[in-house]
Amino acid sequence: MGGRKIGVAVDFSSCSKAALRWASTNLTRNGDQLILIHVNSSYQNEQGAVHLWEQTGSPFIPLVEFSDPHVAKAYAVSPDNETLEILTQISKQGGIEVVAKIFYGDPAKKLYEAVDLVPLSCLVIGNRGLSTLKRALMGSVSSYVVNHATCPVTVVKESM
């Protein structure tokens, strides 16, 4: 395709949907590939093929397959209808290919690794808006990725 590979980190929360909308409105253009990056941090209970992708993540999953509940289950992921509607709308824009890639493990580290594994031209990530105390105690995925990624990272705050 020759376009940019734009990653959007999605955990199906409202802030990740805001990041997805922002990327589609402000960043994507004809010829780009929008890559939904999802990290499943509770995959240890899953059986089968999921364990094959622990190191490198899943293969690229075309949107039509990602939207199929049976296929999504095989990757231990459950996309919600609103996210699928946003992705379908993006894919209908001229010349934007939408695919998903699922990683398994710690979200901050796997998003950081995805930048080079894919490789991504840029990454868009939502911000849950943790308080200073919660961020100090729990850490922030977006802060980690911004400080360690080798590509431009845009953090989108959910509008209040």
Instruction: Report yes or no: 102 and 77 within 8 Å, Cβ to Cβ.
Output: yes
Q: Where are the domains of the chain?
A: 5-157
In angstroms, the CA 103 to CA 139 distance is 20
103-124: per-residue pLDDT in tens? 998 999 999 999 999 999 999 9
What is the architecture of the domain spanning 5-157?
Answer: 3-Layer(aba) Sandwich (3.40)
Cβ contact 113:103 at 8 Å: yes
Do residues 30 and 6 make contact, with C-beta atoms less than 8 angstroms apart? no
Predicted TM-score of the model (pTM): 0.88
* 64-115 tens-digit pLDDT: 999 999 999 888 889 999 999 999 999 987 789 999 999 998 999 999 999 9
